[in-house]
Amino acid sequence: MASNVKYDRNSNVRLKLAVGASQSKGSVILLNQMPVFLLENSDSANQASGVLPGVGLVVELPVTGADNAGNVAVAVGHKIYKDGTQYNRDATNGVLIGYALGAVTSGATTAIQVALIAS
């Protein structure tokens, strides 16, 4: 297996995420643009375990904090696009590949986990 693969379909991609207060198990919420099916109620730290529908692979990629207009931060749940040789938030020039599972500062390039989806 490639060294940048963090989860694959065989590992049942379940993650503990910051989902906000008073979230109930069995519901589907959106973290920015990413749907998450909650397996438990959010706890006192506003976190809960969830499944990412349609995600079979999580990999670590060098994501750049940019879109078609320039530099912009990346947060958990933002859509990530393959834009030439970069991975970023540029929906105008890029092709959707998945959702960010980490944060990137505006203008920076940081290796973060990305939940890959079939588009």
What DSSP designation does 9 have? G
- Sort 68 into a burial class: Cβ within 10 Å, 0-12 / 13-18 / 19+: middle
Q: Are 64 and 113 found together in one domain?
A: yes
Total count of domains within the chain: 2
Given a contact cutoff of 8 angstroms between Cβ atoms, the answer to whether 90 and 83 are in contact is: yes
Q: Are 16 and 63 found together in one domain?
A: no
The yes-or-no verdict on residue 8 having pLDDT over 90 is no
Tell me which residue has tokens 């020039």.
93
Instruction: Tell me which residue of 101, 79, 76, 110 sits closest to 13, measured CA to CA.
Output: 101
What is the domain extent for residue 105? 55-117
Q: Are 64 and 109 found together in one domain?
A: yes
pLDDT digits 0-9 by tens, 88-98 = 999 999 999 99
Give domain status of residue 91, yes or no: yes
pLDDT digits 0-9 by tens, 37-92 = 999 999 999 999 998 887 878 999 999 999 999 999 999 999 999 999 999 999 99
pLDDT at 9: 60
pLDDT at 14: 80
